[in-house]
Amino acid sequence: MNIYSYVLRRLLYVIPILLGVCFLIFILFNVVAGDPTLVLLGKHATLEQMAELRHQLGLDRSLFMQYLDIVKSAFTFDFGRSWVTKQDILYMIKEGTIPSLTLTIPAFTLGTILAIIISLFVSLYRGGKLDKSIVFFCIALMSIPSLAYILFGQWFFAYKMDMFEISGYEFGFPYFIPYILLPGIIWVIISLGPDIRFFRTVILDEVYQDYVRTAKAKGLSENVVLFKHVLKNAMIPIITYVVIQIPFLVLGALLLESFFSIPGLGGITLNAINSSDFPVIKAMTVLSAVGYILFSILTDVLYTVVDPRVRLK
């Protein structure tokens, strides 16, 4: 099967999957979450006020019609307006995408490249003191909560040392760079632990394969075997790990954007959760689901690029 036929078939599978995702979103926000008017109006609201607001928000319609609204928004990307800010949600998403991506793409790219390089370097000295030290370092990084990195970075490097901007954001290049440096560094530090552990495990699985011993027996150097053979064969799990994370970059980093006052999608989502702004939360959930599905298809296609032996069926 060629790539185009495979992608077309997988895209057709998106329809029932997206319908199921919309149903789960509907259950969570329209059935389990209860009546949002209680949150929006407060505990002193009268029944008349609640009924009027429920009518304005369309919550007095049948559950089936409310479910169709979610399905329609998933396929048309028309998410309506925010209950709190009254802004068009698609406009809010467009405005928040650039700040999120200016933070997440450089930090994610740098963190991934560093993790792969360190994992390759460690695999050269597998089982030695350096390898054990790196593993210990990764576990230590993963054991510290993300909030601790953020608070320490803001207090010490931004406030005490005055090396970075403590919060805020300016649109346009290169004005945003000073504001994303510290959160970007924190992102890289937070991601290094789990990334290195995963990449190291994947690379070491390949190092102990028979073809590696054969290549060494032919007189190939350790570096040639590692970079030309091992890394190439380890790319499938690495691609899976990396590509599946890409759609979530659009949503930004909830804590980083919130604490550094970056007006990205992460901050928008967190504000929507705090204020029970269900339409915004639904929109972000739907976008995450669509992105995950599409990038899972991209992952399968990339398999055939890095390994010609893989056949799409």
Looking at residues 13-18, what average pLDDT do you find?
83
Check residue 19 and report its DSSP letter. Answer: H
Work out the percent of the chain whose per-residue pLDDT is above 70. Answer: 93
* Predicted confidence (pLDDT) at residue 49 exceeds the cutoff of 90: no
Reported residue count of the chain is 313
Check residue 81 and report its DSSP letter. Answer: B
* Predicted confidence (pLDDT) at residue 155 exceeds the cutoff of 80: yes
Count other Cβ atoms within 10 Å, centred on residue 165.
19
Q: What is the pLDDT of residue 312?
A: 62
* Predicted confidence (pLDDT) at residue 137 exceeds the cutoff of 90: no
* Predicted confidence (pLDDT) at residue 18 exceeds the cutoff of 90: no
* Predicted confidence (pLDDT) at residue 181 exceeds the cutoff of 90: yes
51-to-47, 59, 267 alpha-carbon distances in Å: 6, 9, 31
Q: What is the pLDDT of residue 186?
A: 92
Question: What span, in angstroms and rounded, lies between the C-alpha atoms of 128 and 260?
Answer: 40
Q: What are the start and end residues of each CATH 1.10.3720.10 domain in the chain?
A: 95-275
- pLDDT bin (cut points 50, 70, 90) of residue 33 is low
Q: What is the pLDDT of residue 112?
A: 92
Q: Mean pLDDT check: name the lowest of 39-48, 155-164, 171-180, 273-282.
A: 39-48
Phi-psi region of 157 (alpha: psi -120 to 50; beta: other; left: phi over 0): alpha
* Predicted confidence (pLDDT) at residue 7 exceeds the cutoff of 80: no
Q: What is the pLDDT of residue 177?
A: 92
CB 289 within 8 A of CB 248: no
Look at 293 and 43; give whichever has higher pLDDT. Answer: 293
Question: What span, in angstroms and rounded, lies between the C-alpha atoms of 296 and 183?
Answer: 28
Question: What span, in angstroms and rounded, lies between the C-alpha atoms of 67 and 38?
Answer: 21
- pLDDT bin (cut points 50, 70, 90) of residue 86 is confident
Work out the percent of the chain whose per-residue pLDDT is above 90. Answer: 12
Summarised one tens digit per residue, pLDDT across range 216-243 is: 788 777 777 877 778 878 888 888 888 8
Q: What is the pLDDT of residue 106?
A: 92
Q: What is the pLDDT of residue 110?
A: 93
Per-position b or e across 181-210, b if 16+ CB within 10 A of its CB: bbbbbbbbbbbbbebbbbbbebbbebbeee
Look at 73 and 46; give whichever has higher pLDDT. Answer: 73
Count other Cβ atoms within 10 Å, centred on residue 306.
14
CB 23 within 8 A of CB 67: yes
Cβ burial of 126 (10 Å; 0-12, 13-18, 19+) is middle
* Predicted confidence (pLDDT) at residue 188 exceeds the cutoff of 80: yes
Q: What is the pLDDT of residue 35?
A: 67
* Predicted confidence (pLDDT) at residue 40 exceeds the cutoff of 80: no
Q: What is the CATH number of domain 95-275?
A: 1.10.3720.10
* Predicted confidence (pLDDT) at residue 308 exceeds the cutoff of 70: no
Phi-psi region of 219 (alpha: psi -120 to 50; beta: other; left: phi over 0): left
Q: What is the pLDDT of residue 251?
A: 64
Cβ burial of 128 (10 Å; 0-12, 13-18, 19+) is exposed
Summarised one tens digit per residue, pLDDT across range 255-299 is: 888 889 888 888 888 888 877 788 888 888 888 888 888 888 888
* Predicted confidence (pLDDT) at residue 34 exceeds the cutoff of 70: no
Arithmetic mean of pLDDT over the chain: 83
Question: What span, in angstroms and rounded, lies between the C-alpha atoms of 264 and 262?
Answer: 6
